[in-house]
A and B are shown apart, each in its own frame.
Chain A
Amino acid sequence: MTRDELNAYRLLKEAQQANAQLHSRRHFLKESAMGLGALAMGSLLGGCGSFFSDKQTKIAYDPAHPLLPKSPPFLGKAKSVIYLHMAGAPSQLELFDFKPELMKMDGQDCPPSLLAGKKFAFITGVPKMLGPQATFAKHGQSGALISDNLPHFSTMADEVSFLKAVKTDQFNHAPAQLLVHTGSPRLGRPSMGSWVTYGLGSENQNLPGYVVLTSGGSFPDAGKSVWGSGFLPSVYQGVQCRSEGDPVLFIKDPDGMNRDLRKASIDAINQANEQQYQEYNDPEILSRIAQYEMAYRMQISAPDVMNINDEPVYIHEMYGTQPGKSCFANNVLLARKLVEKGVRYVQLFDWGWDAHGDNPNNSLNIGLKNKCRSIDRPITALLLDLKQRGLLEDTLVVWGGEFGRTPMMENRNGIQNPFKGRDHHTEAFTIWMAGGGIKKGYTHGETDEIGYSAISGKVDAFDIQATILNQLGFDHEKFTYPFQGRPFRLTDVAGKVIKEVVA
C-alpha cells in the first residue's frame, strides 16, 4: 500500500468504527441516560437560558448553500455592519476624551498611586504626565467634545453614540485585537463577522458575506486570525479584498483560459469533490464546492463592485479617495458600495495608530495628526453617504481601536521618548457607534479627571459584541455553536447589551 492508500484505509476504518459506535447498545444506554438526565436538568435550570434547555438560537446550516440568507431570532434594527478598526490604538486623549485637569499636570511626575501594582507595555519607573496635545470644542446639539484633529467628523457629533469608558484587559496589540473581534485574546475563536455571516448568511450570493479591507501599509498585529472563522465552518471566514489592482488576487482568468473553459474545469473539480463527499460525508467538502461556485460568480461581480472608478467625482471628493492607490479612504468608499450590494459584514483595518513617541510617525503631534487627516474626511463621508442613500437606518457603523493610551508620556526603558507619545492603556478608551438603531448624539460612560480610569458606564469588548449582535437581532447568550463538547458563544460567559446607546 502506498502512503495515500494507507491513509485512506485508516480514514475509512475510523469512519466505520464511528458508525458502529453509533449503533451499539452502550451508545444507546449512555445517550438515553444522559438525555433523560439532561432533560431533568434542563427543566431545573431552564430559567437561566442554560445549555440544557432548548432556548438556544437555532441556526439552519446548509453546507451546500452556506451563505443563503437566514432570519435573525428577533427583529434587528441593523442588517449589515461596517467596523472601522484603527489598528495600533488611537489616543482617546487627543480625540474624544478632553481632560483639562491633565493639562495642569503636564510635565509633573506621575503620582505613585497611578503606578502602584500596574504594568505597562513600555513605561518603567516614574513617567511624566502629558497634557492633551490637541484643542477641544463642544460640537452639535449634544455638545460632544471632539478635538481639532477631526474637524470634519466634529460635524457628525449628533449622529453617533460615544462609549467613553471602554475597558480591556490586554495591553498588547495582537491579543487586544483578537479580544475585540473574536471574544478571546488567544487564537482559535471565530471572529465577529464569521459569527454574523454564520447566523444571517448574506443578501448577495455573488459576493462574500464578510469582506475585510486593510490599509496603512501593514496588517493588524493579530494577523489574519482576527478575521478567521475559528471552529465555525471555514466558509464564514473574512475574505480579504484589495483596493489596488485586482480586488481579489488571481480573480482574472489567465491568458488563454476563456470563461467556458473555466466553468468546465470548475464543474469537473466539483464533481470530483462531490464523489469525495459521497464517500466521507464531510460537510466541509460541500462548503468547498460552494466556495468554488461563488468564486466563479465573483469573477464577474467582484471587479464590478470593487471598482471605485465609476463613482462620480463629487463622491470621490467627499471621501477624499485616491483612485488606483491603496488607502483608507478608498476602503471606506468600497465599504459603502459593498453594503449597498448586500454584503453583511465589512471589516476595515487601518494600521499606524500606535503613537508611542519613539519616532515622528509615532508621535501625537506629527504621526497622529497625519493619521487623523487620512480618516477624517472618509468617516464623515461614510456616515453622510449612507444617510443620504437611506442605508444608515439599517447599517451599523462602529469605530475604535483595541485599547487606549496612558495619560502619562511614555518613557521607554526609563528614558523620555524623543517625541510626544503615550503608552498602551487598558483602563479607558473611546469607541463610537452610529446608525443601525443606535442613539444619535449620545455619550455613555465617563473617565476620571485625568482620563486614567473609567468611573461610570464601564463597558468592555464583550458588551460591545453583545450590543452589535443585539442590533442584528441576536441574543448573544443564546447564539452558540457546539464545539469540543460544549456550546461556544462570541461573548463567552460575559457581555451585556449596552441598552443606554440603543435607540
Chain B
Amino acid sequence: MLEFIGRFHPVLVHLPIGILLLACIFILLSSKTKFASFRPVIPLTLLLGALGAIASCLTGYFLANSGDYEGKLVSLHQWMGIAVAIISLFLYVLYVRTKARVALNCISIFLIVLISITGHLGGSLTHGEDYLTAPLKSGGGKNQSAIPAIPNIQDAVVYESAIMPLFKSRCYSCHGSEKQKGKLRLDEQDFMLKGGKNGPAIIAGKAEDSELVKRLLLPLDNDKHMAPKEKPQLTENELTLIQWWINQGADFKKKFKELPQPANMKTVLANLANGNAGITESKVSEIPEKEVVQADVEVLKKLTNAGITIVPVSQNTNYLSANFINADFDQPILVLIPKVEKQLIWVKLDNKKVNDQVLAVFGSCKNLTRLSLNNSSITDRGLMQLTKLDQLQYLSLVGTKVSMGGIRTIAKLKKLKSLYIYQTNIKPTDYANLKKMMPNLTIDTGGYSIPFLAQDTIVVKAPAKM
C-alpha cells in the first residue's frame, strides 16, 4: 500500500515545483510597487506550495523505501526535498508575520535554486544520470552506439571494452549504484552474480539459463522484457555479444582473442570494431527511410482505371507498389509513370512487352526496391536502362533472354540482395563467375528437379486375405 502511495511521487512533485516557483517570483516582483497587486495571493500560494512539498516528501519517502532505490543520489534528493518543504513553510510563516522584504527576497532566491537542484536530482534518478546532457555529447544522443568503436578488437578485454559500456548505457540507469530495480545491480561482477529478486543475473557458460538473457529475449510486449518497451532496445549485434560472452564463461578479464569465435560472431566483431554494433541489421528496410510526398490522386485514379494495380505498400506510407498484370503499355500510361516515379518502390512487369522506351521510364524510378520482370521481353540491352536503380534489392528475371553480359551491367547495384535467373540465357557454366562477381547476393538459378524414387509409384495395397 505504501509503495502504491509512493508511486504518486513523480506526479505530485510537479505541483510544489510549479507553485513554489510562482510564489517566489511573486515575492520578488511584488517588492516593486508596480506589482504590488500580487501581494494578497502570496500567502495562499506559499501555503499550497509548502503543503505540496510536504506531500511530495512523504510519497518520495515511501517510494525510496520500496527497495528499488539506494545510494548517494537518493539521499541527497531526499534531504534537499525535505529542505525545500521546511524552507517554504518557514517562508510562509515569515511572510505572514513580518514582511521583512530583504530577508524574504533572499530566501526566495535560495528556494528557487534549491528547487531547481532537487528537481534535477529527481530527474536524474528517473531517467538516468546523463539524461539531460546526452544530446549535447557526440552523436546527439540519438542512434548513438552504446559501445564505442574498438579499433584493436582482438587485443581488447571483452568486459571492459564492450560489455561494460553496453550495460552502462542500457542498464545502469535502473540497475546501477543509484537505483536497483528488482534489487539487481549490473555495475559490478559480484552484484551480477548475486543477482536480484529472481536469482543470479548470469550463469557463466549458460546464456539460455541466465535470467538476464531470458529477459532480453522475451517478446517486446511482455512486461518482463528488458530493456523496458519505451527505452532504447538492444540490437541484434549486442544481444549476440552478450550471449556469446556468457556462454564463453562470462569472464571479466579475458581478451577477445582468448575466446573461441564462432561464425555468428564474425560480423558482430566487425561491427564492434568500427562502432556499428548499435545499428539494427534489419533496418535495411524495403521502404526508404525518408517519407515521400503523396502521389497525385488524379494520376493514381487514371492508372487504376487503366487496369494497373497501384496502391501504397502499406497504410502508413506514400510509397507505391504497382502490378501491371492486366495493363498494356500504351502512350498515356507511359506518360503517367514519371509522375509517380518518386513514389514507386515495387513494380511487377511480368509477361509484359518491355521495350527500351518502357524500361527507360521505369529505369528512372530511382527508389525502386523490388522489380519483377518474369517472362517479359527484356534483353541485355534493356538491362542497361536499369543501371541507375541503386536502391534495388530484389530483381527477378525468370524466363527472359538476359545473359551474362547483361548481368554485368547491373553488377554495380550495391543494395541488390536477391536475383532470380531461372530459365534465362545465363549458362550453368557462368554460375561460378556470377557468384564471384556479386558475392553478397542470393542468386537463385532454379532448374530444380525432383528425383524419381521407386516409392513414387508403388501403391500400397491391403493384404488379399483380409
Contacts and interface: CB of A to CB of B under 8 A. Distances in A.
Contacts of A360: 461-462, 466
Interface centre among B422, B445, B460 (most CB of A within 10 A): B460
B263 interface: no
B456 A373 contact: yes
Contact of A75 (B304, B311, B314, B350): B314
Given A74-B316, A373-B456, A389-B398, A341 B325 contact: yes
B105 interface: no
B286 A75 contact: yes
Nearest to B320: A71
Contact of B313 (A75, A203, A317, A499): A75
Nearest to B420: A390
A390 B466 CA distance: 50
A173 to B, nearest CB: 24
Contacts of A64: none
A419 B311 CA distance: 56
B78 interface: no
A80 B447 CA distance: 23
Interface residues of A, number: 46
Which range contains the number of B residues in contact with the other chain? 35 or more
B314 A390 contact: no
Q: Main secondary structure on chain A at its contact with chain B?
A: loop
Contacts of B422: 388-389
Interface string A327-367: 00000000000001110000000000000000010010110
Interface in B423-463: 444-451, 453, 455-456, 458-462
A314 B423 CA distance: 13
The dominant DSSP class at the B interface is loop
Given A320-B456, A370-B459, A388 B446 contact: yes
Contacts of A418: 466
B276 interface: no
Contacts of A71: 311-315
Contact of B374 (A314, A390, A419): A390
Interface in A378-408: 380-381, 384-385, 387-390, 393
Q: Which 9 pairs from chain A and chain B are nearest by CB?
A: A388-B446, A360-B462, A390-B396, A390-B420, A384-B448, A388-B422, A71-B312, A75-B314, A369-B460
25 contacts: A58-B315, A69-B311, A71-B314, A71-B315, A72-B314, A73-B314, A74-B314, A75-B287, A152-B450, A203-B323, A204-B325, A206-B326, A314-B449, A318-B449, A360-B461, A360-B466, A373-B455, A373-B458, A373-B459, A385-B448, A387-B448, A388-B398, A389-B420, A389-B422, A390-B396
Given A314-B449, A317-B450, A390-B374, 15 more contacts: A69-B309, A69-B310, A69-B311, A71-B311, A73-B314, A73-B315, A152-B453, A205-B326, A360-B461, A370-B460, A376-B456, A385-B448, A387-B446, A388-B422, A388-B448
Interface of B: 219, 286-287, 304, 307, 309-317, 323, 325-326, 350, 372, 374, 394, 396, 398, 418, 420, 422, 444-451, 453, 455-456, 458-462, 466
